[in-house]
Amino acid sequence: LGGGFHHCSSDKGGGFCAYADITLAIKFLFERVQGVSKATIIDLDAHQGNGHERDFMDDHRVYIMDAYNRYIYPGDGIAKRAIKRKVELEWGTEDTEYLQKVHTHVEGALNELKPDIIVYNAGTDILDGDPLGGLAISPQGIVKRDEVVFKAARSRRIPILMVTSGGYQKRTARIIADSIINLHNLGLIDKELATSGAGNPKVEQMIRDSAKDISKLS
């Protein structure tokens, strides 16, 4: 629960991001894990992920899809050249339009290139009322968004790494917990555990307790 510092590149921090964890994770996999030679970044934080875009600008092993509010930070035109599938959103975009675009472009991205790993930057700053995101997605819309991404990965048997990235309201912790419970109950994460104990109250309570701890930190 955490990570997704997508404004930090290998040589420069920015936007609350002090180290380039997405870049580091992908480079580590390429260099040290046999069979991992292609990666797709699906960045659905409300802000453009200019850090990893700058790092992989000329690296054809990395496919980047980025959906973001076109009017907010960072507006990095140079970094945008690295985006293979760019989805620029308007102020106040709501669930129906957003989820349709996410579904269309996630499917399109994974059909263009089947990667060995997906890094999913799952920012909750798309939530209605977020002071920095400028979008208007409901809590249910965020849960559904994560489900769309995980279903696309599962149908293609692609491993997925999810980082939670931006989100600047206390209630985002509860939404993240609800999404993880939903993914678990659908068998989209930890399939062996999910099929043997979907709806396991101990698992759900553990996630809820984690959410409460995050809320305290907020």
Q: Which residues are catalytic?
A: 7
The sheet carrying 160-163 orders its strands as 85-89, 62-69, 39-43, 117-121, 160-163
Nearest to 115 by CA among 192, 24, 5, 30: 30
Q: What is the 3-state secondary structure (H, E, C) of the chain?
A: CCCCCCCCECCECECCECCCHHHHHHHHHHHHCCCCCCEEEEECCCCCCHHHHHHCCCCCCEEEEEEEECCCCCCCHHHHCCCCEEEEECCCCCHHHHHHHHHHHHHHHHHHCCCCEEEEECCCCCECCCCCCCCCECHHHHHHHHHHHHHHHHHCCCCEEEECCCCCCCCHHHHHHHHHHHHHHCCCCCHHHHHHHCCCHHHHHHHHHHHHHHHHHC
